[in-house]
Amino acid sequence: MGGSVKLRPMKSVMLLLCIIGLLSGACQPQVLYVEVTRPVLAATPATTPEPIADQQVVEVTRVVTQEVTRVVTVTEQIMVEVTKAPLGTAVRPIQLLFPPTYNSAIITSRGQVLAAALAQATGHQFAVGVLDSEEALVDLMCAAPADTIGFLSPLGYVLAHEQCGAQVGNTAVAADGRTWQTGMIVTRRDSGILTLADLADKSWAVPDLNSLPNFLYFQAMLLNEGIAPGEIITVPGDNSAMLAVFNNEVEFATATYIPPILPYAEREWVYGEDGPELWRLLGVSPTRSPIGYVLVLGEPEFGGYRLRDARSGIFDSEPGIYDQTRIITLSAQIPNAAVAFGADFPLTLARAVSKTLAAFATAAECVESLCAGDFYGWDGLALADDAAYDPLRLVVATLELAEEEIWRLTAGTQ
């Protein structure tokens, strides 16, 4: 009888209790039954006490309760649709964006006149914004393509179209009535230079190295033709360029070409159809009129031609300039400044605004805004086509102009 005594665990009961505990309510604290085994000391009968050293260790299993609370975290994603205010409302006005070409106070004042006129004509609200640079203006047009209208230089528009699909709506009409500019290459008639190929290694007078029609386009054109001119000499303006070639200081020069006014003003000179010097067919030398015009066979209203290209600027000092020089070729038509819309601007609204701008530019109130002498000084705004800006894309691609160089060229020009 001196053997050890073992207490049998009630395993069947424990298992049943555990299952019942686990099946209790999911949202209530759960009571789990856990087996706990502890060592206890079992002694021999009291009548025959044994030394402590003879005490033996037996396993006693008991059922204890442990309360466990389960915490469940649920994350729910809720999609909320935010609807923008309608374009052209006071909360979301159409943004008229201007580069800092002029004094900001003048831009704001003149621009507000335009904004008010557009609001009255279209029923939409407009806000005037003056950016720190034309580059920043293009960045904003790209960031808000549904809300913006930008007043851009020709190259600025080309970049805006390339970067984020801005679309031209209008092109400025200059004081001479044209929406484009053209340059000319002039040589002396006795120079023997008759074609572009004859310009190889010849000295060149340039009035402005940043001018698109008077330098950059011709530089790209000659490069495309594989013609390398000789020394390039920078001179201060068209008059100096014409004097340089007239005085045999250079072998050719570039300067501004403005078409002549034709007899009786029955039609306008047409680029690509009329020769740059079609008046020479009369065989009559130009003369100066009493009021300062350079004429061939009298005023246009009497059947003559009025000459307006850069050579007319030195006619008083050098009346033989036309007789001694000729035009070799003209540049492409370089478009004037652009009014462009962000890529996502509503098409119907863009067309309406373009037509309103064209009408505004012919109204008396334009003198207080875009037509003002201290602002753009435009004579009008014509509806425009993106293809008109292709000659500029040719210049950029041929001369491999980096974006930084383009922004340098556009700084301060419109």
CATH of the domain at 295: 3.40.190.10
State residue 154's pLDDT score. Answer: 96
Residues 185, 161, single domain; the answer is no
Nearest to residue 7, comparing CAs of 72, 47, 58? 58
State residue 263's pLDDT score. Answer: 96
Are the C-beta atoms of 118 and 95 separated by less than 8 Å? no
Residues 353, 251, single domain; the answer is no
Residues 121, 172, single domain; the answer is yes
Q: Average pLDDT by consecutive 10-residue portion of the chain (414 residues)?
A: 41 41 43 46 43 46 52 58 84 97 94 97 96 96 98 97 98 94 97 96 97 97 96 97 98 97 92 96 95 95 96 96 98 97 97 97 96 96 96 97 92 57
For residue 348, is it within any domain?
Answer: yes
Last residue of a domain, one of 334, 352, 380: 334
For residue 5, is it within any domain?
Answer: no
Residues 398, 289, single domain; the answer is no
For residue 406, is it within any domain?
Answer: yes
Print the domain residue range for 284.
180-334
For the chain, the domain total comes to 3
Are the C-beta atoms of 30 and 2 separated by less than 8 Å? no
Residues 329, 343, single domain; the answer is no
The alpha carbon dihedral of 59, 63, 66, 70 has a sign of positive
State residue 215's pLDDT score. Answer: 97
List the Cα angle 319/277/181 in 5-degree steps: 100
Residues 189, 326, single domain; the answer is yes
Residues 184, 281, single domain; the answer is yes
Residues 186, 152, single domain; the answer is no
State residue 410's pLDDT score. Answer: 86
For residue 74, is it within any domain?
Answer: no
For residue 88, is it within any domain?
Answer: no
Residues 291, 192, single domain; the answer is yes
State residue 411's pLDDT score. Answer: 78
State residue 100's pLDDT score. Answer: 94
Are the C-beta atoms of 156 and 172 separated by less than 8 Å? no
State the residue for tokens 């290694």. 201
Phi-psi region of 349 (alpha: psi -120 to 50; beta: other; left: phi over 0): alpha
Distance CA 127, CA 125 (A): 7
Residues 186, 320, single domain; the answer is yes
For residue 131, is it within any domain?
Answer: yes
Residues 148, 293, single domain; the answer is no
State residue 322's pLDDT score. Answer: 98
Residues 154, 267, single domain; the answer is no
